[in-house]
Structure formats: C-alpha cells, structure tokens
Amino acid sequence: MRHFFLYCFLIGLVACVSRENPQPYQISQGETMGTYYRVTYRGTDTFDRQLDSLLIAANEELSTYIPQSVISRFNRLSAGDTLVIDYGEGVDVEVRHLYANLDASTFIHTLTDGAFNPCVMPLVNYWGFGYTGREPVTQVDSVRVDSLLGLVDLSSVKYWNEGRFFFMTKEKPGVELDMSAIAKGYAVDLLAEWLEDNGVGDYLVDIGGEARGLGVNAKGRVWSTGVNTPEEDAALDALFAVIELPDKAVATSGNYRNFYEVDGQKFSHTINPKTGFPERNRLLSVSIVAGDCMTADALATACMVKGMPEALHFIEEQDSVEGYFIFSDDTGNLTPEYSSGFSTYLKSEE
C-alpha cells in the first residue's frame, strides 16, 4: 500500500512537470550586427546553424562594414551606373533582405515625415559613427555638413526587379544607404518568422536589446525584457522598466551610450536628417512596441529625432504601435511618459 501511494505521488509529479514544461528550452546565441544575439525557444531541436546562417545572409546584403555586401556595393556605385544582383532561379527578389529593408524604409520615411531617413550614411560617416571609422569631429565644418545634407535624398535611390534580377541606381553622386536603424529589427523578425515556419510556438528573439516574443518562457509566463536606465554612468544591467511581449516586438533607441564629447558638447549617433547635425534633446530613451520589430526599430530612431512632445503625439496617432519615453525634466530628473495603450505591456512590480 505504501508503495502504491509513492507510485501515485511519482506519477502525479511527472504529470505535473510534463504539463508545465513538456519540452525543454534551447538557446542559440552569438554575435551579429556589432552586438549579441540570443534566441530562446521551446523544442527538442537546436537551430544554431540555421539561425546563424540567416543572420550571415542578411549581413551580406545589409552591412556597411562588409565591403562586398550589396549595400556597400551600392554605396560605392557611381551615379548613372546600375548595380545588378542575380539571385538565381526561383528566388522571390521582393522578399530579399535589402529589398525588404528598402521597402520598409521608404514607408517609414514617409510616415515619420522624414525623421527616419536611410540616406544619412554620408553624415553618419562625417560625424564619426559609420564605416569610415570612429573619429570624433573636433572642428565642425558647417559648409561640409550642408553639402552632405544634399545627399540625404531617398528620391534619388531607385531599385526594382525583373524576374531573378535585382537592380539599383542612384541619380546623385555620393548618395549612400545606411540600414543600421532598421536592420536589427528586421533580423529579429527574420529569425522569429523562421522559427514560426518551423513549428516553434514559444520563443524570444533578442538582438542587442531589440526583441520579439511569442508564447511563454520556461516558467510558463509571457516573455519580458528590460528597458535600461538611460544614464551614462548607470550599470549596464540597471533597469528602468520591464516590458512584456505577448506576441509583440520591442525596440529601444537611446543616445546615452553611443556618443562622444568635444569641448563639453555631446555628439551622438542619431542624426537629424533636416539639420545634418546629431540630434540631442531631452528625450533620452524611446521603446516602441509593435507587431513587428522592424517597424519598432525604425520608429524608435525617428522618435529620437522628433523629441518630446512630438514623438509621443506621433506615436499616439499610429494604430497598433505604443511607445515608452524617458526624458530629463527641467531639473534633470529622469521622467517616464507613455502612450495611452502602453500600460498593457508594462510589467507591474511583483
């Protein structure tokens, strides 16, 4: 009899464990796009190799740090010349990496009234945040900034496809593309959609803090991710807020880490495409929640350019997009403000 009870207890225990967590969680991780990636997903198979090769393939089109990438070849192209990429038989060119980023960039560029502009590359290089090297500008040459501003012109970039061939031209010499503000979000979606296509129903894809989650984590809870405290001297893991991702993506932009200082003036990597200068305003960090990470990523950068309160007003106008903003108030205190639907995603203190 004693054995019978013990037996029942053990069966119950196994049933309980397997109901809560019938399959283990896998982690695939590594480096990409100048940062880390970490993919956590439920299932018995590991997809290290597949996920890594997806990221490599995306970078071979999108990275300005790879001289032979498609974007780098476009950037070196002379005006009037045409870049031709043969993707081979049966490939749907319109869903290829650069094509997809160009389509999304054009859409977000219009939506944000030009605050997001993928043609900022010459200015990003000038200010020392691009592929030509991390050289701080010690003497600002405003005549040069003005002339580079003339190259921030998306209408001079033309791209199209004919069957398996992808074509690109630029109408103005010197126009260059930079997908840094949208490519990480794109890559998050790429991995997330690959996992879904391969039957994974519970995952969190995280590339350098841009994330997308579906289903639940190993504890059976909705995935969550932290918003860092936007202060230069804050600990790298200091969290200001925690955001839940019930089948949603989040992207955060901030100017508190990627900047340099010359004669007390701070220059950061967000470029205002209207002035040609790095944008610094009271807005220190923006987290955007959207259905896809690509949109979230690009909108977060656009919000940094817009500043407060325009960024908040802009996000309120968008359907299915919410934003969490941290800015410094008159006395320099960090103050959060968020769009009306954002509270659903804010994890309450437990």
| Per-residue x/- track, 153-182, ligand ADP (CB under 6 A) | -------------------------x-xx-
Is 131 among the residues that bind ligand ADP (CB under 6 A)?
Answer: no
Q: How far is the CB of 350 from Mg ion (least distance, A)?
A: 30
Residue nearest to Mg ion (CB): 301
Measured CA distances, 79 to 45, 156, 162 (Å): 48, 9, 21
Question: Helix, strand or coil for residue 334?
Answer: strand
Q: List the single partner that 270 binds among ligand ADP, Mg ion, none, CB under 5 to 8 Å by kind.
A: ligand ADP
| Residue 300 interacts with Mg ion (CB under 5 A): yes or no | yes
Q: How far apart are CA 216 and CA 204, in angstroms?
A: 9
Give buried/exposed letters for 136-171 (b at 16+ CB in 10 A, else e).
Answer: eeeeeeeeebeebbebbbbebbebebeeeebebbbe
Cis preceding-peptide flag for 67 (omega within 30 of 0)? no
Q: Does 294 interact with ligand ADP (rule: CB under 6 A)?
A: no
What residues numbered 73-102 form the site for ligand ADP, per CB under 6 A? Answer: none
Q: Does 116 bind ligand ADP (CB under 6 A)?
A: yes
Q: What are the tokens at 68?
A: 């032979």
Site string for Mg ion, 162-191 (x = CB under 5 A): -------------------x----------
CB closer to ligand ADP out of 117 and 225: 117
Give the single-character DSSP code of 271: B
Residue from 61, 176, 244, 297 that binds Mg ion (CB under 5 A)? 297
In the complex, minimum distance from the CB of residue 40 to ligand ADP, in angstroms, rounded to a whole number: 20
Q: Which of 293, 340, 308 is CA-nearest to residue 108?
A: 293
Q: Give the Cα separation of 70 and 77 in Å (integer).
A: 11
Using CB under 5 A as the criterion, which residues of the chain lie in contact with Mg ion when the complex forms? 181, 253, 297, 300-301
